[in-house]
Structure 1
Amino acid sequence: MRTMKPTRSLMLVLCPTLVLGFLYYSSGRLHLRTLGQKSQGDVDSLLFVGRVVASVYDKQGFLIKLDGKLPLELQYKYGNLSKGECKPGYSEAKMTSIYPKFVKPVPMFLEPNFKRLAKISSYPPPFGIKTQEKIIDVILAETKNYGLGPELDSLSCKRCIIIGNGGILSNKSLGSKIDEYDVVIRLNEAPVSGFEKDVGSKTTMRITYPEGAIQKPERYEKTSLFVFSAFKPLDFRWLRQMVFKEKLRGTEGFWKSVARSVPREPEDMRILNPYFIEEAAFRFIGLPYNNGLMGRGNIPTLGTVAITMALHNCDEVAVAGFGYDMSSPRAPLHYYEKLRMSAIKESWTHNILKEKDFLRKLVTAGVIQDLTNGI
């Protein structure tokens, strides 16, 4: 009997193997495309179905090869929209295409039934509400409102922009463009008055914490929401006194001076869902878990927390004023003061490099738009 040549034998073995490998890879990709309807456990198990599929994603679960091109299904979905028209579900669709574990929706602010959110119930501040349930109940009973307001909540498509405090905003004349967004989110005490040409005049909400809040009542906008983000249990005690217009009793435990009053009525005050801090820190950026407690280098900046919130609640997301150019030590650190870039010191709480890597993924993939090109 005539024996087959070694080359032919090898081909007979390799061909079925290659076909099976292709089918396996295609199957994995198909599963990952439909993860939006699956539970977190299903998602985690599917991400590791095989070396071929796993190698497509980094250790955080993001697609390794990123570009700004729309997947074919999104080209069909948004191809007929006019230029500048709000694209419903766009940020979610783009985010899911590069990060299949993305789960939407997640409420922007805490509401009376917040205890049903199992994820945040497992952690104390800043990653959750454990140990603070009673005081949150008291605060929410007084504020009575838990959304953006009737007009914005009723929009079928929302375009949101987060304004960072970076000096890169100076002399860009982006004010009128910023004011075109439906939701304008500002951070801490960054001023608007006197800087409207570059940062706009519209403020939908200002996200802050006790040490970052505006301390001079006259500097608050007249109509914006005061959105509180807690980083420690003491912060909730401070908020309670602000909501009930009580005299601030004791400031021990704060790392710098804090506002003694907030010129807002309770119905204009909100508590940011701490889910966004937990997700940004441990899932998106990959900061040290530290048993779910605040520790060295595991707190995301408020800007990244705001972006995370917007990804879950806005149809389109843009940013401006983000990014530190450490190669230019004489460049202005913030748009509103003369402090220079060289003033930045190594942060105990933040990991700026890892955070910037995450934000670059979002910009590169077109999940968010960076108007000042600083990320």
Structure 2
Amino acid sequence: MQVMRRYNRKWTKQDNNINRFRSELNHSCQGESEAIITQENTPLGTLIEYDGENKKHFKVTSQLFKTFSKEQPFKNFTWKTCAVVGNGGILVNSSCGEEINSAEFVIRCNLPPLGDNYKKDVGNKTDVVTANPSILLEKFEGLTELRRPFVERMRDYGDSLLVLPAFSYTANTPVSLRAVYTLQEFGSPTRAVFFNPRYLRSLAKFWTARGLAGWRLSTGAMVASLALGLCSDVRLYGFWPHPLHPHGCQPLTNHYYDDKPGTRAHNMGAEFEHLLRLHEKGVVKVHLGKCSADPR
């Protein structure tokens, strides 16, 4: 497989390349101060411009303003080691759970299951977890009726941050707000925050300038980019986009927990190509296959 000829299992971190890439990324996107909507960067009365719909705005009312984080959760802090966990079927029988849990900061995508059946391969530590509103609609009826199943699922993630793209599309806003109010009403330790559409637009421009154009960034690419701006050592797990295992060529399920097809809104192959280039440069370590006993 041509991709695997470029993949170096004996990865070496290249600090100069990391610092250069982080500097370019943070200069373009300002993730430290802009990644999450806050009361500081989005004052009362602001017209929020949706990043996925042209000429669509939402005015910040006093009620909406109260749902915003008071300050940026990632401001003035750099984590040493970050694990970003995608949901790819390559994680099955990977034994990466212990290695993932050893990271100082762990980000997961789209409310993945973390039960005992999966712990050995994906771990359970979670600091940030994302949720596309489509998942809230499909699995939890949009939180318009029974809401306890959603709250019970969130227990898997403890006191993590739940990041919602509430202002990517107009349809995202009401269900995202219901998620906020549900967590508050049930006294969940999970705190919901919103991706800042200004940050997501900047991120799209950043990757477009590097050749990743014509497709909307996947959640995995978004949070991998966020981690690259916040962490000095980033490891990616479960990001393999192809149907065959890179080492044994055995068939893989689409996700580590099911085989449902993903959305066609993203170009996962092109995204992986860019992540592989960063792996080759020692900027990020992409894990493929089994994890070693030593997570260093």
2:160 paired with 1:160: no
Q: What amino acid maps onto 1:304 in structure 2?
A: A
Match of 1:331 among 224, 240, 252: 252
Q: How does 1:262-273 map to 2 (within 5 A)?
A: 265=188, 268-273=191-196
Match of 1:370 among 275, 286, 293: 286
Q: How does 1:293-308 map to 2 (within 5 A)?
A: 297-308=214-225
The Cα shift of 1:132 comes to 2.0
Q: Secondary structure at the match of 2:37?
A: coil
Distance 1:263 1:307, change over 3 A: farther
Q: Secondary structure at the match of 1:315?
A: strand
Q: How does 1:100-111 map to 2 (within 5 A)?
A: 104=30, 106-107=32-33, 108-111=35-38
The Cα shift of 1:325 comes to 2.0
Q: Which residue of 1 aligns with 2:153?
A: 219
Work out the CA distance in 1 between the residues paired with 2:30 and 2:72. 17
Query: Rg larger in 1 or in 2?
Result: 1
Q: Which residue of 1 aligns with 2:99?
A: 177
Distance 1:139 1:364, change over 3 A: farther
Q: Which residue of 2 aligns with 1:37?
A: none
Distance 1:189 1:97, change over 3 A: closer
The Cα shift of 1:172 comes to 1.4
Distance 1:173 1:245, change over 3 A: closer
Work out the CA distance in 2 between the residues paired with 1:69 and 1:98. 18
Q: Which has the higher contact order (CA 8 A, sep 6+)?
A: 2
Q: Is the 8 A contact 1:171 1:198 kept in 2?
A: yes
Structure 1 gap segments, 5+ residues each: 1-66, 75-89, 247-260, 289-296
2:142 paired with 1:142: no
Match of 1:322 among 239, 246, 249: 239
2:40 paired with 1:113: yes
Alpha-carbon RMSD: 3.8
The Cα shift of 1:306 comes to 0.5
The Cα shift of 1:281 comes to 2.7
Q: Which residue of 2 aligns with 1:201?
A: 124
Q: Which residue of 2 aligns with 1:39?
A: none
What's the % identity of the aligned pairs?
23
> How does the TM-score come out when normalised to structure 2?
0.71
Distance 1:112 1:298, change over 3 A: same
The Cα shift of 1:280 comes to 3.8
Q: Secondary structure at the match of 2:63?
A: helix
Work out the CA distance in 1 between the residues paired with 2:189 and 2:126. 18
The Cα shift of 1:113 comes to 2.7
Structure 2 gap segments, 5+ residues each: 1-10, 141-148, 291-296
Match of 1:124 among 36, 47, 50: 50
Q: What amino acid maps onto 1:237 in structure 2?
A: P
Q: Which residue of 1 aligns with 2:275?
A: 359
Q: What amino acid maps onto 2:195 in structure 1?
A: L
> How does the TM-score come out when normalised to structure 1?
0.57
Q: Is the 8 A contact 1:162 1:318 kept in 2?
A: yes
My pick for the range that moved more, 349-358 or 237-246, is 237-246
Q: How does 1:215-254 map to 2 (within 5 A)?
A: 215=140, 216-217=149-150, 218-220=152-154, 221=156, 222-230=158-166, 231-245=168-182
Q: Deviations over 1:214-273 (max 9, x none)?
A: 633222223222111233012112222332349xxxxxxxxxxxxxx9956598111123
Q: Deviations over 1:306-359 (max 9, x none)?
A: 01111222222211010122456832211112x27xx568x2x21223222221
Q: What amino acid maps onto 2:257 in structure 1?
A: Y
Q: Secondary structure at the match of 2:163?
A: strand
Q: Which has the higher strand share?
A: 2
The size of the alignment, in residue pairs, is 256
